[in-house]
Amino acid sequence: MYAGTVLLFLSDLGGGEIFVILVAVLLMFGADKIPGIARSFGRGIREFKDATNEIKSELERHVDDIKKQD
């Protein structure tokens, strides 16, 4: 999937808007919790990527098995 289409809603954001969003996040969660949130987010992305790669390898292995049978 093309990242530009996924993040299409961010095309109208400028530097000022991003700064306001970051300040709001900082005020909501506090400086001490942001690293933990980022770490959890990173772990979630890693798990999703690992699961995607596992499914992809399973499908490729299954296709290879079918090709060997023919």
Q: Encode pLDDT of 17-28 as tens digits.
A: 889 988 998 899
Distance CA 38, CA 22 (A): 13
Q: How does the average pLDDT of the chain come out, rounded?
A: 85
pLDDT at 51: 95
Terminal Cα-to-Cα distance of the chain (whole angstroms): 32
pLDDT at 6: 57
Can you tell me the mean pLDDT for 39-59? 95
Residues, the chain: 70
pLDDT at 10 over 80: no
pLDDT at 44: 95
